[in-house]
Structure 1
Amino acid sequence: MGLFDKLNEPVFIKEDSDAVKHLELLRELYDKAQDVAKKQIEQDIKYISYGIKGEEQIAFELKNSHMPMYVLHDLYLEFEDLSAQIDYLIITRKGVFVIECKNLFGDITVNNNGDFIRSMNIGGRLVKEGIYSPITQNKRHLELIKQMRMQEKNILQKAFFGKYFYETYHSVVVLANPKTILNIRYASKEIKEQVIRADQLNEYIRKVNANIDTEPSSDKDIKSLAEYFLSKHKPKKITYHKKYEQTIEEEPNMQITQLDDSNNVELLIKKMKDYRLKKSREDKVKPYYIFTDKQMLEIIEKKPNSIEELMSISGFGEVKCSKYGEQIIEILKL
């Protein structure tokens, strides 16, 4: 530890998640979708929500670890023909931990071949199924990191880095669902050392670091490494419009081009969006909780002059109208 090292708590250098943005998009699409697509969108919303909940559990554990570390959440890396969606990258003075978060339903057994088998009780019947190994998934993440870092080193550095890479970078699969029973009795020692529960994560990091017999890196060095990985992050562009483009309703009279130009539509849209953003920040909620784009266009089209008229628009009940109704009506008075 360096003389001037002062880091004594975890620092989240990247805390946001693309999954949250995708969830917002799906909720907006749900309002526009025909019935045939709603069920599938609901499944996507449920899946993403569950994943976010699991990652929030890990964030909670890390924030209460009281360990000096830099944390990057939801990191997407690309190198040549490889790509990796890393749930958490944790950089400590002794090592780097690549975390694969799984918030799984059911109980997980890992057999002596390293196969992951999930058991669930469905309708009173025990159902078992194999799932893709998160350890294999995380190995690919480590390989990408290794290749990316090796590219930037000279011949001597490459030889040293390659030899000691797996002593510095550690793969960890974290099961975030507290109700999941983990059975790894028959798994190999290597597997057992890579699969843990969320409440074991902090102790795991401490134990691994304590067993590394090397000089700790300085705070400056680990911060520099965290910033390096942050610079390599590429937000993953996922659009659900293509997936559901055949099942999104064409709402009559809802397209901007179909609205009367004399109503100063563009100006109203800007004012409504500015208001929505302002209120969402004040109330600390997502903008679509105030109103969706679909509701906004319907408001602009109908131009309600009273709270009673505003309540005729889907999604505007007494509570929402009492909070935002008068201000929305004032905005419409251009």
Structure 2
Amino acid sequence: MKLFNKMKEPVFFKESNNAEEQLEKLKDLKPTLNAEGIKMLKRDIKFLEYGIAGEKNIRFELENSHIPMYILHDLYLEEDDLSAQIDYLVVTKKLTFIIECKNLYGNIDINNAGDFVRTTEYKGVKKKEGIYSPITQNQRHMDLLKKIRVESKNNVLTKFISERYFDEFNIPVVVLANPKTVLNAKYAKKEVKDKVIRADQLVRYIKEAYKRSDSAVLSDKELLDRAQSYLDLHKERIKDYTKKYEPYTLNSDKQETDDTDHLDMKTKTTINEPSSAKKKDLYEELKEFRLSRSRSENIKAYYIFSNKQLTALIDKMPKSKEELQSVNGFGKAKVEKYGDEIVNIIQKH
């Protein structure tokens, strides 16, 4: 029997742009923050960009694996007071892999106690520090997934079977996505060593685990059903990534009333409304759209687009999402989220 059959290539069953969207929102915040807020923002943007780059490295490996499997990116689980954000869930015809992506800088040592120690070097000075075990983090994701799957079964027998064989069919693995990171796990116990790999080892890891498994091979239809059953567990959530910066905003009392005033956050000058009746109607309609979306998402209106960006929209009148992306402040994630509505509004004028 062939390793895989019929279905020939990987399929991304669930995509994610949460991180890209978050990055765009953070970048838009800069003109509204004081010096302390900007310092914190730059640090957060750097870490987020690092994480995005790491997930892209893993995506590259998966989409070029030529393995028939379904891939769910950024799966969010929630049960009672527990939650888990799974970076990648990979469903093959035998096994499911729960992947925790770590784009760590520095070199990583895992000792015989399972501790993770990172070594970094700056200007010839080496620094060692312990970091929270990504294995422990991923195991918590695995435990919650198991809890949800078991409790979804209809009777005692199926619950027992699901719990009994869950660990056999679901494999947690931590993937170090930074190609410059050196992993030293020679002193780690085998059960720890087997759960941490580099990104360039991921495809081989999946294939070897698949070959070792004695599980029955699912048909294409059964594989799709299993992937769908995992996707059905995903909980959509609206999260305001900007709330933590509110204490660091400039003139926060004026920003709270940004829906009605015309203060530009960067220049702190008054923005005049358009003089022509036609453009004034467009101005009001775009403001109304911004206010409506900010209320539905429970975020500040200027996080959708600032007054300065509103003026730029009216000046440039973008008639497509491609043209909209050329307007300063409208990156790919923001255009994907709001572009169709904004363009439709502009096209009516």
TM range (shorter): 0.7 to 0.9
Q: What's the RMSD between the two structures over aligned residues?
A: 3.2
State the distance in 2 between where 1:122 and 1:234 align: 42
Query: Per-residue displacement from partner, 1:216-275 (whole Å, max 9, x unpaired)?
Result: 11221221122222222123433233211122224989945235597665622646999x
Q: Where in structure 1 are there 5+ consecutive unaligned residues? A: 275-287, 305-313, 317-330
Change (3 A) 1:198 1:192: same
Q: Secondary structure at the match of 1:173?
A: strand
Q: Given the superposition, is the C-alpha separation of residues 266 and 189 from structure 1 closer, same or farther in structure 2, using an over 3 Å criterion?
A: farther
Are 1:124 and 2:109 matched, yes or no? no
CA distance in 1, matches of 2:58, 2:281: 43
Equivalent in the alignment of 1:320? none
Contact kept? 2:76, 2:85, Cα under 8 Å: yes
Structure 1: 4+ residue segments shifted above 3 A? 250-256, 259-266, 269-274, 297-301
Provide the secondary structure at the position in 1 that maps to 2:105. coil
Instruction: Give yes or no for contact 1:61–1:201 (8 Å, CA) kept in 2.
Output: yes
Is the contact between residue 286 and residue 310 of structure 2 (CA under 8 Å) also seen in structure 1?
A: no
Identify the residue that residue 56 of structure 1 maps to in structure 2: 56
Q: How does 1:258-269 map to 2 (within 5 A)?
A: 258-259=261-262, 265=280, 267-268=282-283
Give the C-alpha shift of residue 135 in structure 1: 0.4
In structure 1, the residue matched to 2:298 is none
**Normalised TM-score (structure 2):** 0.76
Q: d(CA) in 2 for partners of 1:300 and 1:205?
A: 48
- Residue equivalent to 1:319: none
Please identify, of 60-69 and 225-234, the stretch whose mean Cα deviation from structure 2 is larger. Answer: 225-234
> Is the counterpart of residue 191 in structure 1 residue 192 in structure 2?
yes
TM-score (normalizing by structure 1): 0.79
Give the corresponding residue for 2:172: 171
Question: Structure 1 residues 176 and 269 mapped into 2: Cα distance closer, same or farther (>3 Å)?
Answer: farther
Gaps in structure 2 of 5+ consecutive residues: 263-272, 290-301, 317-326, 330-345
Structure 1 position 31, deviation (Å) = 2.5
| 8 A contact 1:18–1:235 mirrored in 2 | no
Percentage identity across paired residues of the two chains: 46
Question: What residue in structure 2 maps to residue 325 of structure 1?
Answer: none
Structure 1 residue 43 corresponds to structure 2 residue 29: no
Distance 1:40 1:298, change over 3 A: same
| Superposition map of 1:17-28 within 5 A | 17-28=17-28
Taking the TM superposition and a 5 Å limit, the aligned residue runs for 1:63-74 are: 63-74=63-74
What displacement does 1:189 show?
A: 0.5
Contact 2:89 2:96 in 1 (8 A): yes
- For 1:144, the equivalent position in structure 2 comes to 144
Aligned pair count? 293
Mapped contact 1:9–1:68 kept (Cα < 8 A): yes
Q: For residues 58 and 300 of structure 1, what CA distance do their matches in structure 2 show?
A: 37
Give 2:115's aligned residue. Answer: 115
